Amino acid sequence: MTDRTFNDRSTPLTLLATRRSGKPRDLIAPGPDEAELSDMLAIAARTPDHGKLAPWRFVIVPSAARAALAEVITAAYRAERPQASVTEIAALEQFPHQAPSLVVMLSSPRTDSHIPMWEQELSAGAACMNLLHAAHAMGYAAGWLTGWPAFSDAVRDAFGAAPERIVGFVFIGTPGRPLDERPRPDMARIVSTWHGPAA
């Protein structure tokens, strides 16, 4: 994909219907430049947000900081699992080095708010989904990963503090090969019509 405009997908509905996740290991340069990434994050922030709390944060991890993040992740893993294998550590060392761009998405709930925590967390997930759509609209692909690093308090502490949580690691770049289409849910199984309480 070389056309980086918002008009490179025929209609907004086509954009939504054709978005697919890219496997971070398959995302190559070029990635978004600073201005494009800024635009993506501004779009991501336009998400349902009861109470206008913005209960989420985006942390950009530039290429120069990827090795430091790998050190944080592997040190945290070794501390939790001293018997970790060489293969496990190698996979974790490689994890943050995927794709040209990396954004760590954090849920940052406002515990002093009357807005339920669940709604604030849903808003963070919606912001992350908006980021994936924005990347797709601008001609890139993105992959949202969690895995062990997303659930480690020690890794989270490198970016913030409780009650924050890592929603995921969003990797963005250009697909190095055609994106895979995965099976989608059977709509008849997941959609129903409610006609009132059962008699």
**What's the token pair of residue 149?**
């690093």
CA atoms lying within 13 Å on the CB side of residue 77:
22
Q: Among candidates 168, 173, 128, which has minimal Cα distance to 36? A: 173
- CA separation for the pair 190, 169 (Å, rounded): 28
- Locate the domains of the chain by residue range: 12-62+99-176
What pLDDT is stored for residue 3 in this prediction?
43
Q: CB count, 10 Å around CB of 43?
A: 18
Fold of 12-62+99-176: NADH Oxidase (3.40.109)
Q: CB count, 10 Å around CB of 7?
A: 8
Q: What is the pLDDT along the chain (199 residues), one digit of tens a residue?
A: 334 444 455 688 888 888 999 999 999 999 999 999 999 999 999 999 999 999 999 999 999 999 999 999 999 999 999 999 999 999 999 999 999 999 999 999 999 999 999 999 999 999 999 999 999 999 999 999 999 999 999 999 999 999 999 999 999 999 999 998 889 999 999 999 999 998 7
Residue 112 DSSP symbol: T
Residues composing the chain: 199
What pLDDT is stored for residue 9 in this prediction?
52
Q: Among candidates 92, 99, 72, which has minimal Cα distance to 153? A: 72
